[in-house]
Amino acid sequence: VLSLVDNWERPRSEFTLERKLGQGFFGEVYEGLWNGEERVAIKTFKQEDLNRSDMEKEIDALKSLCHRNLIRLLAVCSIGEPVYIVTELMTKGNLQDYLKGVEGKRLRNSDFINIISQVADGMEYLEKKHVVHRDLATRNILVGDKLICKIADFGLARLLKDDMYSPENNRTIPIRWTAPEALSHCKYSTKSDVWSFGVLVYEVYTYGETPYKGEQL
């Protein structure tokens, strides 16, 4: 049984699931309430769907990283099931959907620069911490009020002990966002995140259009 008891651990009874927001790489995400007051995002996992190593790495990444442009961990429920990872709630959803929506269509060049600068600030922090994200894309950027943007989904994030990282298993690779060396040799680094950042810039300036649209990849 997975147990990550520490100062982050809270009883599951403190949380109420309200509205499903989406499905991530490792679980479902809901909008919910903490103690009936604070609105939060709650990622849920069933034990049978859970890879203990992946789970611990995702939680450890969230615990150890603190920056204004990274999603903030609030609490964990890891005793019993479903397992909860509780983070701050970003009211506007993910950037990909936001860009395609009514509010997104009103954005202009100065707004694009603002968004891209925030993502760059967050990624610069990750690089200094020797963390490679591996899945940087507009779908993994969350948007709040006043166009605040935060990097999310550290499900694939890894601390780099060396300059390069080779995953133990290849899982599903987001081909359109992945650097050539990562695709051909399965070698990831902060430099491959830079490639993905370039693809993200394309997404922003095309209001969330799929990169290489029409190409058979």
- Both structure tokens of 189: 């680094």
Helix, coil or strand: residue 149: strand
The CATH number of domain 93-206, selected from 1.20.1630.10, 2.60.40.1190, 1.10.3720.10, 1.10.510.10 = 1.10.510.10
Query: Known binder of ligand: residue 161?
Result: no
Q: What are phi and psi of 188, to 5 degrees?
A: -110, 145
Per DSSP, what are the bridge partners of residue 216?
A: none
Per DSSP, what are the bridge partners of residue 138?
A: none
Give start-end residues of each CATH 1.10.510.10 domain in the chain: 93-206
User: Which residues are catalytic, by number?
Assistant: 135
pLDDT at 1: 42
pLDDT at 70: 96
pLDDT at 155: 56
- Both structure tokens of 171: 């899982």
The closest of 53, 85, 88, 97 to 67, measured between CA atoms, is 88
pLDDT at 78: 83
| Helix, strand, coil share (%) of the chain residues, nearest 5 | 40, 25, 40
Give start-end residues of each CATH 3.30.200.20 domain in the chain: 12-88
Rounded to the nearest 10°, the torsion over CA 92, 94, 95, 96 is: -130
- Both structure tokens of 67: 């920056």
pLDDT at 14: 96
- Both structure tokens of 43: 């990622």
- The DSSP line for 42-66 is EEEE-GGG--HHHHHHHHHHHHH--
Helix, coil or strand: residue 31: strand
Can you say how many angstroms the Cα of residue 19 is from the centroid of all Cα atoms in its chain? 19
**Average confidence (pLDDT) per 10 residues, the chain, 217 residues:** 68 95 78 97 76 70 89 89 91 96 97 99 93 89 97 67 51 69 72 92 96 70
Which residues fall within 8 angstroms of residue 37, CB to CB, at 6 or more apart? none
Domain at 12-88: CATH architecture: 2-Layer Sandwich (3.30)
